[in-house]
Amino acid sequence: MIRLSVRFLSAIASAFLFVSALHAVAQQHVPPAPAAAASPDAQPAVPPQDQSAPAPGQAAAPSAPAPNNPPKFPPVDPTSFTAASPTKETVDAFLRANWGYDEDRVWQVQAILKTPVDGVSKVFVYIGDRSGKQQMQGLVFFVLPDGKHIITGDQVIEFGDHPFADVRQQLAEKADGPYRGSASKDLELVEFADFQCPHCKEAQANMDKLVTDFPKARVVFQNYPIASIHPQSTLAAEYGVCVNKLGGTTAFFQYAAAVFDGQDGLNSADGATLTLNSAVVKASLDPTKVAACAADPQVKAQVEASVKLGTDVGVSQVPMLAINGHEVPANAPYDVLKKIVLYQAKADGVSGQ
Helix 269-282 vs helix 287-294: angle between axes, to the nearest 10 degrees?
Answer: 120
pLDDT band at 351 (very low <50, low <70, confident <90, very high): confident
How much is the average pLDDT of 249-275?
A: 97
pLDDT value at position 41?
32
pLDDT tens digits, one per residue of 306-323: 999 999 999 989 999 999
* Domains, the chain, with CATH or none: 10-159 (no CATH), 166-347 (3.40.30.10)
pLDDT band at 16 (very low <50, low <70, confident <90, very high): very low
pLDDT tens digits, one per residue of 114-167: 999 999 999 999 999 998 788 899 999 999 999 999 998 888 889 999 999 999
Quote the mean pLDDT of the chain.
85
Q: Sign of torsion, CA 285 289 293 294?
A: positive
Percent of the chain exceeding pLDDT 70 equals 81
pLDDT band at 77 (very low <50, low <70, confident <90, very high): very high
Amino acid at 161: D
Strands 326-329 and 218-223: unpaired
Instruction: Encode 220-235 in three state secondary structure.
Output: EEEECCCCCCCCCHHH
Q: What is the CA radius of gyration of the chain?
A: 22
pLDDT value at position 116?
97
How much is the average pLDDT of 81-105?
A: 96
pLDDT tens digits, one per residue of 150-165: 998 888 889 999 999 9
pLDDT over 90 (residue 35): no
| 99, containing H or E segment | helix 88-99
Q: How many whole angstroms from its chain centre is CA 217? A: 18
How much is the average pLDDT of 284-304?
A: 98
Cα separation, 114 vs 120, whole angstroms: 7
pLDDT value at position 125?
96
**What pTM did the predictor assign?**
0.81
